[in-house]
Amino acid sequence: MEYNFKEIEAKWQSRWRADKTYKVETNPSRPKFYVLDMFPYPSGAGLHVGHPLGYIASDIYSRYKRLKGFNVLHPMGYDAFGLPAEQYAIQTGQHPAVTTEQNIARYREQLDKIGFSFDWDREVRTCDPGYYKWTQWAFLEMFSHWYDRSKQQARPVAELTAAFETSGTEGLDAACTTEMHFTAAEWNAKSEREKEQILQNYRLAFRADTQVNWCPKLGTVLANDEVHDGLSVRGGY
């Protein structure tokens, strides 16, 4: 008997959507399992061959773990910020918000046709203010905290500053990049800039000078994998 994949796939995918077959709810009675794929960046007209190559493998594993009794969380989203989306908008003469929305719709259509078991109620878009609000919040929280090894927890930097003012580094067991030792008098004698440079050594997230790949034509920095033989892969700049 011939396998009419168009008819069969459409029928069951419609059923999965209507029943929210892959929607995940909290269920303490079942062991948890989390499968996270690399989010595609919707900068072009659709998926490339590398996307389903990886997603099919993780989807197979997700289905296997469900059949083994696990409560599987398998979300999907879009890495929609960054150079590729920006360049696609420039090339097509449109606003990134417009092209990104159109490309996401195309990606979703293609992903649905393949029939992946994603929980689309948990979709993430990194260009959504409701998403990056929290990534920015998390970074600021890390920037304003240090790690107290004696208490095995993160503590506000204000507590660290207060400790430096009264007893320097004596008695502190703080995670840091470089071990430092100074007295309260030495700390209090330093300028505000010098104090901040010391605190950078303890903050969970910190500022630092480093070398980057700068592309004048694109007006941005590039990751190492975006550079080949000293030139930008995107355009040969």
Residue pair 114/55 in contact (Cβ under 8 Å)? The answer is yes
Residues 148-157, mean pLDDT to the nearest whole number:
97
Give 215 or 141, the one with higher predicted confidence. 141
The answer to whether residues 63 and 177 belong to one domain is no
- Predicted confidence (pLDDT) at residue 39 exceeds the cutoff of 80: yes
pLDDT tens digits along 47-106: 887 888 899 999 999 999 999 999 999 999 999 887 777 777 888 888 888 888 988 999
Which residue among 83, 103, 127 closes a domain?
Answer: 127
The answer to whether residues 81 and 15 belong to one domain is yes
Distance CA 220, CA 234 (A): 12
Q: Give the residue numbers spanning the domain of 10.
A: 5-127
The answer to whether residues 113 and 46 belong to one domain is yes
Report yes or no on 191 lying in a domain: yes
| pTM confidence score | 0.75
Q: How many CB atoms lie within 10 A of CB 176?
A: 16
Report yes or no on 16 lying in a domain: yes
Count of residues in the chain: 237
Burial of 143 (0-12, 13-18, 19+ CB in 10 A): middle
pLDDT tens digits along 184-213: 999 999 999 999 999 999 999 988 888 999
